[in-house]
Amino acid sequence: MKKRILGKSGLEVSALGLGCMGMSWAYGAPGDRGEMIKLLRDAVDLGLTFFDTAEVYGPLANEELLGEGLEPVRDKVVIATKFGWKLDPNGGAWPIGLDSRPEHIKEVADVSLKRLRTDHIDIFYQHRVDPEVPIEDVAGAVADLIKAGKVGHFGLSEASASTIRRAHAVQPVTVVQSEYSLWTRDPEAEVLPTLEELGIGFVPYSPLGRGFLTGAFSAGTQFAADDFRAGNPRFTAEALQKNAALVETLKAIAGPKGATPGQLALAWLLARKPWIVPIPGTRKLSRLEENIGAADLDLNEADLAAIEAAVEGNKVEGQRYRDNELSMVNL
């Protein structure tokens, strides 16, 4: 597996990481624990060194899964987790608000370390910007954790360019994570230029459009009630039908190269900048192997132009989140 450096931090990771959320949360019933632990270790054997989780995934269960799965290979991997939510004290599956108070950040770090079975968190992201807490206070709290040796690097998720600059002035930001793919290109306007200027790495989550860009779904696809996509505007039957044209065009471009549309979508991201590291998620070894194959797919100028034309010619139907969820991004 090829390696990449996240910005100017010197932090080296595999060119593709593994987003682990779906193993425990958001996409229907959790995967079988034993099978998921095996998949985590298979991923390491296949060359992946970058694993992404968060306290809210489960909640808590995904960190515990990674803690068990990666403990025997902890010295070979980079683990990223996240803080910033107020979890439901009654054990509900979804958070009840934001909480990035410095004292809460430090509490989350301590319990995340225990669940992850490690003495340090390689990357600690603010999962969503909390408008009630100055970002300077957040950066200061993470700086304290870095000085204490509990955290290696500071990250932000779904933050605006101005927020990134303010945070970076207090504690250098190593990496920013936001949704970015062939059907979600919002970061291109302001965030990516800011990251390039400041020397910050970028980690696209949902780089396969929550599975859509693999060609796995059709207008007739039914999602379970506890699957996040069941209520997502891009996964209604009407939206899936309209968006199918994009996948068909990607298949036509990928076919002659012996690739899948998902591999093409990942290779496109890798071709954007050398400091971009996508984190596709999966529960299947076959998909994991397919995704890893994208790291060796070289796209020439003609390929990239054809992909751009495909996106321009097939406008995406549906916004990426529901209205109440969109209110917590790009702050």
Q: Which entry of 27, 57, 180, 321 is annotated as an active-site residue?
A: 57
Q: What mean pLDDT do residues 15-35 have? A: 96
% of residues, the chain, pLDDT over 90: 94
CA separation (Å) from 266 to 18, 31, 77, 204, 215?
13, 24, 21, 10, 14
For residues 17 and 15, what is the distance between their CA atoms, to the nearest angstrom? 7
Q: What is the pLDDT of residue 125?
A: 98
For residues 154 and 21, what is the distance between their CA atoms, to the nearest angstrom? 20
Helix runs in 80-133, H state only: 102-116
Q: What is the pLDDT of residue 330?
A: 77
Q: What is the pLDDT of residue 46?
A: 98
Q: What mean pLDDT do residues 159-168 have? A: 98
pLDDT tens for each residue of 276-320: 999 999 999 999 999 999 999 999 999 999 999 999 999 999 999
Give me the residue spans of the domains in the chain: 3-210+274-297
| Catalytic residue status for 57 | yes
For residues 8 and 199, what is the distance between their CA atoms, to the nearest angstrom? 5
pLDDT tens for each residue of 216-248: 998 889 999 999 999 999 999 999 999 999 999
pLDDT tens for each residue of 188-201: 999 999 999 999 99
Residue 8's contacts (CB-CB under 8 Å, 6 or more residues apart) are 199, 200
Mean of the per-residue pLDDT values of the chain: 96
> Which of 127, 80, 57 shows the shortest CA–CA distance to 99?
127
In the beta sheet, which residues pair with residue 123?
80, 153
Taking phi first (over 0 means left), then psi (-120 to 50 degrees means alpha), and beta for anything else, what does residue 48 get?
A: beta
> Which of 278, 215, 291, 324 shows the shortest CA–CA distance to 17?
278
- One of 3.20.20.100, 1.10.10.10, 2.60.40.1120, 3.30.70.890 is the CATH number of 3-210+274-297, namely 3.20.20.100
Q: What is the pLDDT of residue 265?
A: 98
φ and ψ at residue 320, rounded to 5 degrees: -75, -20
CA separation (Å) from 207 to 137, 177, 179, 204, 256?
31, 11, 7, 6, 22
Quick one: pLDDT band at residue 30, thresholds 50, 70, 90? very high
Are the C-beta atoms of residues 263 and 294 closer than 8 Å to each other? Answer: yes
Q: What is the pLDDT of residue 206?
A: 97
> Which of 156, 72, 73, 79 shows the shortest CA–CA distance to 113?
79
Choice among 14-18, 89-93, 172-176, 284-288 with the minimum mean pLDDT: 89-93
**Crossing angle between the packed helical segments 61-70 and 102-116, to the nearest 10 degrees:** 40
Are the C-beta atoms of residues 37 and 69 closer than 8 Å to each other? Answer: yes
